[in-house]
Amino acid sequence: MRYVLGIVALLNSLIVASQINVSAEDSTRPNILFVFSDDHAPHAIGAYEGWLASVDPTPNIDALAKQGMLFRNSFCTNSICGPSRAVIQTGKHSHKNGFMNNGNTFDWNQQTFPKLLQEVGYTTAIYGKSHLKGNPQGFNDWQVLPGQGLYYNPDLITADGRVRVEGHCTDIVTDLAVDWLREGRDKEKPFMLMVQHKAPHRNWMPAPRHLDLYADIDLPEPKTLFDKWEDNAPPARFQELEIDRHMHLQFDLFVDLSPAFDGQSIKGRVDKSAWANMKRMSEQQLKVWRDAYGPRDAEFHAANLSGDDLVRWKYQRYEKNYLRCIRGVDESVRTLMSTLEELGLSENTVVIYSSDQGFYVGDHGWYDKRWMYEESLKMPLIVKWPGVTKEDSIDEHLVQNLDYAQTFLEMAGADQPEDMQGMSLVPLLRGQDPEDWRESIYYHYYEYPSVHMVPRHNGIRDERYKLIHFYEFDEWEFYDLEEDPDELQNRYGDPIYASRIEESKKRLEQLRIEYGDESVSGVKPKEWQNKVRGLTP
Ligand code: CA
């Protein structure tokens, strides 16, 4: 009998001990707040000290960088919205997770990092833009925009169907996140919260309170605003993402081209987005909008601009709206940080700010993304991990969105599945310099022929050199980023770089094989090449 009692006592003490361990573990395992926006170029963040820093675009994101670590060499694997998100969910390249372009549908039944976090005791939520189609899996709570979603008074998809919410989408998404932090989550568990803003995605519709921001100044211009891509391989001249020829005065810039415009008479694609958003506005929202843009439109008509002057005007209108949308996201970061503070969660919550890819802010005369050139290849990545990241620190290692899933898993003390293809950033966040860190990143873009007409390409970038292969056209580019950071001189075929280029080609093939990428197709027939480029043979 004494023996049995002894066993019971021992079992009891083990149970107590394991309960203590679990609760001790939960108080040390960090919460994860992942704030993610759409199309926010690093050079449109003050802390990245690019050419736009002088207009102070992001005071609150800059404050986050001061408190944590900024990754200067942060890159995507495929510079477009849905695919970048699929890479983050899975820790696998597009060809492995199956979501290669925005036309695909994400298979939510596959392994994702939020599901794995749930398995180790995290509670999870996602609000805002998912862009992966289908109902999200791996989340205890979620509300997502359908597709791209609307800026004003958008619909949200919930587990119980669609709801329409009044207000500007950046504020709505912030409010959902704050409500969940305050009341919605299971407070016994550590959390992982994804706050996914639609802004600043095209067509850049800021909240009413931001319509006058930068109204009285001229923003700086990128030095490559009038680039004519003379030294690039031909694909750079056959694209459709120029501010000059492709940015639409109505669709992208809301210029009222008809004095008698009544909101109903616009046809074609213009009707599908810009005015769909404006039709969605309340009378009061529309009035604020027209009061802000009406006099500016009148000035525009009076000036009767053309040529480079018109490009400059379009650039200013676009860039101001882009930065106004970013100001909304920046305020969201402030609200989320103060909410953590107020709830006593600051000390044990990792805060990450990132965006799905970079963007052309007039650089090379463009808007949009897709290319493997620097402006769209780079992603912002700022991480504040109290007690781990050093304040105001900079990391220079080559990192990718491919790494986020494993990073979050390691933060949570969970195993990293063998089939994930990234590298946990935790050692870098601890300030370490791992000997076996990657020396090159692998890139592959697929969506072609399609909107903006950027051909398929894969390539690699190391600390200094970049090799790009537009394989359907069998055209190559090679850049020396140290000598030519703006990528204005394609060195492919330059004998000075011959051995470097051969080395890069070998490395590209090695990485393609290592990542199991069988999706590179061969050269297309000349007839097809001419047809997609609109050329007559
Ligand atoms: Ca995007």
The alpha carbon of 457 and the centre of ligand 1 are apart by a number of angstroms equal to 18
The alpha carbon of 77 and the centre of ligand 1 are apart by a number of angstroms equal to 13
Chain segment 481-528, per-residue pLDDT in tens: 999 999 999 999 999 999 999 999 999 999 999 999 999 999 999 999
Report the share of the chain in percent with pLDDT over 70: 91
Specify the range with the lowest mean pLDDT, choosing from 298-302, 322-326, 332-336: 298-302
Instruction: Show me where the domains of the chain are located.
Output: 2-102+111-204+325-428, 208-316, 445-531
Contacts of 303 (CB under 8 A, 6+ apart): 309, 313
The alpha carbon of 358 and the centre of ligand 1 are apart by a number of angstroms equal to 8
Q: φ and ψ at 222, to 5 degrees?
A: -70, 150
The alpha carbon of 37 and the centre of ligand 1 are apart by a number of angstroms equal to 8
Chain segment 510-519, per-residue pLDDT in tens: 999 999 999 9
Tokens representing 59?
């005071």
The alpha carbon of 241 and the centre of ligand 1 are apart by a number of angstroms equal to 15
Return the CATH number of the domain spanning residue range 2-102+111-204+325-428: 3.40.720.10
The alpha carbon of 354 and the centre of ligand 1 are apart by a number of angstroms equal to 11
Q: φ and ψ at 85, to 5 degrees?
A: -65, -35
Helix (H, G, I), strand (E, B) or coil at 302: helix
Chain segment 345-356, per-residue pLDDT in tens: 999 999 999 999
Contacts of 363 (CB under 8 A, 6+ apart): 43, 222, 224, 225, 375
Is there a contact between 32 and 340 (Cβ–Cβ < 8 Å)?
no
Tell whether the model's pLDDT for residue 15 goes beyond 80. Answer: no
Alpha carbon distance 33, 170 (integer Å): 16
The alpha carbon of 163 and the centre of ligand 1 are apart by a number of angstroms equal to 24
For residue 313, the one-letter residue type is: W
Q: Give one DSSP letter per residue of 344-357, joined into a string.
A: T-GGGEEEEEEESS
For residue 365, the one-letter residue type is: G
Identify the band that residue 43 occupies on the pLDDT scale cut at 50, 70 and 90: very high
Please choose, from the candidates 43, 20, 328, 391, the residue with its C-alpha nearest in 3D space to the C-alpha of residue 201.
328
Please compute the mean of the pLDDT values over residues 56-76 and round it to a whole number.
98
Distance, CA of 101 to chain centre: 15
The alpha carbon of 201 and the centre of ligand 1 are apart by a number of angstroms equal to 6
The alpha carbon of 422 and the centre of ligand 1 are apart by a number of angstroms equal to 20
The alpha carbon of 288 and the centre of ligand 1 are apart by a number of angstroms equal to 28
Tokens representing 89?
């969910």
Tokens representing 47?
């802390």
Alpha carbon distance 208, 278 (integer Å): 12
Alpha carbon distance 156, 154 (integer Å): 6
User: Within 10 Å of residue 284's Cβ, how many Cβ atoms?
Assistant: 9
Label residue 175 exposed, middle or buried (CB < 10 Å: 0-12, 13-18, 19+).
Answer: middle
For residue 431, the one-letter residue type is: G
Identify the band that residue 11 occupies on the pLDDT scale cut at 50, 70 and 90: very low
Please compute the mean of the pLDDT values over residues 60-78 and round it to a whole number.
98
Identify the band that residue 278 occupies on the pLDDT scale cut at 50, 70 and 90: confident
The alpha carbon of 360 and the centre of ligand 1 are apart by a number of angstroms equal to 12
Chain segment 351-370, per-residue pLDDT in tens: 999 999 999 999 999 999 99
Alpha carbon distance 483, 480 (integer Å): 6
Contacts of 1 (CB under 8 A, 6+ apart): none
User: Within 10 Å of residue 105's Cβ, how many Cβ atoms?
Assistant: 11
The alpha carbon of 381 and the centre of ligand 1 are apart by a number of angstroms equal to 15
User: Within 10 Å of residue 458's Cβ, how many Cβ atoms?
Assistant: 23
Alpha carbon distance 433, 314 (integer Å): 44
- Tell me the sheet residues that pair with 75: 378, 400
The alpha carbon of 202 and the centre of ligand 1 are apart by a number of angstroms equal to 9
Tokens representing 438?
């990657």
The alpha carbon of 174 and the centre of ligand 1 are apart by a number of angstroms equal to 19
The alpha carbon of 264 and the centre of ligand 1 are apart by a number of angstroms equal to 29
Please choose, from the candidates 80, 120, 117, the residue with its C-alpha nearest in 3D space to the C-alpha of residue 100.
80
Alpha carbon distance 357, 351 (integer Å): 19
Chain segment 287-303, per-residue pLDDT in tens: 898 889 988 988 998 99
Q: Give one DSSP letter per residue of 366-412, joined into a string.
A: B-S--SSSHHHHB--EEEE-TTTSPTTEEE-S-EEGGGHHHHHHHHT
The alpha carbon of 359 and the centre of ligand 1 are apart by a number of angstroms equal to 8
The alpha carbon of 355 and the centre of ligand 1 are apart by a number of angstroms equal to 7
DSSP state of 197: -
User: Could you tell me the maximum CA-CA distance found in the chain, to the nearest angstrom?
Assistant: 100
pLDDT at position 262 is: 46
pLDDT at position 2 is: 42
**For 97, left (φ over 0), alpha (ψ -120 to 50), or beta?**
alpha
Contacts of 271 (CB under 8 A, 6+ apart): none
The alpha carbon of 526 and the centre of ligand 1 are apart by a number of angstroms equal to 32
Tell whether the model's pLDDT for residue 24 goes beyond 80. Answer: no
Class of domain 445-531 as given by CATH: alpha beta
Q: Which residue carries 């310099």 as its tokens?
A: 433
Chain segment 374-397, per-residue pLDDT in tens: 999 999 999 999 999 999 999 999
Distance, CA of 59 to chain centre: 19
The alpha carbon of 81 and the centre of ligand 1 are apart by a number of angstroms equal to 4
The alpha carbon of 348 and the centre of ligand 1 are apart by a number of angstroms equal to 29
Instruction: Give ∠ CA 490-495-497 in degrees, rounded to 5.
Output: 60
Is there a contact between 428 and 397 (Cβ–Cβ < 8 Å)?
yes
More confident call, 458 vs 270? 458
The alpha carbon of 244 and the centre of ligand 1 are apart by a number of angstroms equal to 21
The alpha carbon of 148 and the centre of ligand 1 are apart by a number of angstroms equal to 10
The alpha carbon of 246 and the centre of ligand 1 are apart by a number of angstroms equal to 18
User: Within 10 Å of residue 155's Cβ, how many Cβ atoms?
Assistant: 16
The alpha carbon of 507 and the centre of ligand 1 are apart by a number of angstroms equal to 28
The alpha carbon of 325 and the centre of ligand 1 are apart by a number of angstroms equal to 14
Chain segment 421-455, per-residue pLDDT in tens: 999 999 999 999 999 999 999 999 999 999 999 99
Question: How distant, in Å, are the alpha carbons of 56, 302, 373 from that of 380?
Answer: 16, 39, 15
Is there a contact between 117 and 192 (Cβ–Cβ < 8 Å)?
yes
